Amino acid sequence: MKQFWKSMLKSPSGVIGLIILVLAISIAVFGPMLFPNSPWRMVQRPFLPPFTLSTVPLGTDALGRDVFAGMIFGARVSLLVGLVSTLVALLVGVPIGAMAGYFGGKTDDALMRFTEFFQTIPSFALAIVLVAILQPSIYSIVASIAVVSWPPVARLVRGEVLSLRTREYVQAAVVTGQSNTWIILREILPNALSPVIVLASLMVATAILLESSLAFLGLGDPNLISWGYMVGAGRTVIRQAWWITVFPGVAILISVLGLNLIGEGLNDALNPRLSREGR
């Protein structure tokens, strides 16, 4: 564990990513407590430019709502949706991939056909259709994003398990009489997890992009303010009030960038050491 943190801190991308992530989480968790203004309330005249009034540092939107408050509360939605949908996708994808890779044969065939089917469907289009049909709410959004995100996980886990299954120490476990469950859980998965962890951080980034795109198109939860929604709402008045679209977009950009950087840092930290073993 200590080794892991040391290598993680050695990569500059990892450090920057961690800083951004910690910042984002702090804003999401503590923001609403420190700045309790509701983002839905009209607090000033509409279209107040940013940096003019200290109580509304980032200006107001078409209805006089505080843009800064919107961004604080929006952080919660984006991060929550990102994390939960990724978790669900992992809970679905990892077992499917592990079973397909370990048991092979017909199980593998069946599970892979199923996975391929989902992978062929354009993910954003499917997400739109699902949210539209199920009516937009935070639950349908999380579910839709999870549904379109799990196939790459399954694919990756299957590939790793497949290659590990023929690794000699796994064969040794079979030969010494271990049960299948034990082998999958103690020998294979711990060694297969590193690429999955890297993928997970990238998935959270993609989930945030998906959620904001859905909200932009008007498919967000109508009771929750989200960065995508704010950009969408400001689209028609972009000529008069550029700040309504710019600031939330920057927030999305920074969050996603931070998560991508963490992914890079994780990749550097968890990759097998290019050791000069036995050469």
- State the nearest-atom distance from the C-beta of 3 to other proteins, in Å: 11
CB nearer to other proteins: pick between 150 and 216: 216
CB nearer to other proteins: pick between 37 and 137: 137
Beta carbons of 86 and 149 less than 8 angstroms apart: yes
Beta carbons of 58 and 243 less than 8 angstroms apart: yes
- State the nearest-atom distance from the C-beta of 107 to other proteins, in Å: 16
- State the nearest-atom distance from the C-beta of 242 to other proteins, in Å: 6
Beta carbons of 208 and 233 less than 8 angstroms apart: no
CB nearer to other proteins: pick between 36 and 177: 177
CB nearer to other proteins: pick between 43 and 62: 62
CB nearer to other proteins: pick between 36 and 273: 273
CB nearer to other proteins: pick between 68 and 243: 243
- State the nearest-atom distance from the C-beta of 133 to other proteins, in Å: 5
CB nearer to other proteins: pick between 54 and 239: 239
- State the nearest-atom distance from the C-beta of 54 to other proteins, in Å: 26
Query: By the criterion CB under 8 A, which residues form the site for other proteins?
Result: 116-117, 119-126, 128-130, 132-135, 167-169, 171-179, 182, 186-187, 190-191, 205, 209, 212-213, 216-219, 228, 231-232, 235, 238-239, 242, 245-246, 249, 252-254, 256-257, 260-261, 275-279
- State the nearest-atom distance from the C-beta of 164 to other proteins, in Å: 10
Cα–Cα dist 132/167, whole Å: 46
- State the nearest-atom distance from the C-beta of 185 to other proteins, in Å: 13
